[in-house]
Amino acid sequence: MEPRGRYWDDFKGGEVLVTGRRTVDAGDVSRYAGLSGDFNPLHTDEEFARTTPFGTRVAHGILTLAISNGQQNLTGWFEGTTVALLGLDKVRFTAPVKFGDTVHTEMTVRETRGTSKPDRGVVSFDVVVKNQRGEAVLTYETSVLLRRRP
The Cα 101–Cα 93 span in angstroms is 15
Structure confidence at residue 4 (pLDDT): 87
Q: What does pTM read for this prediction?
A: 0.94
Structure confidence at residue 1 (pLDDT): 62
Torsion angle of alpha carbons 124, 126, 129, 133, nearest 10°? Answer: -150
Largest CA distance in the chain: 57
Is 3 within a domain? no
Residue 27 has pLDDT above 80, yes or no: yes
Q: How many domains does the chain have?
A: 1
Expressed as residue numbers, the domain containing 28 is 8-147
For residue 100, give the CATH number of its domain.
3.10.129.10
pLDDT single digits (tens) 36-86 = 999 999 999 999 999 999 999 999 999 999 999 999 999 999 999 999 999
Is 1 within a domain? no
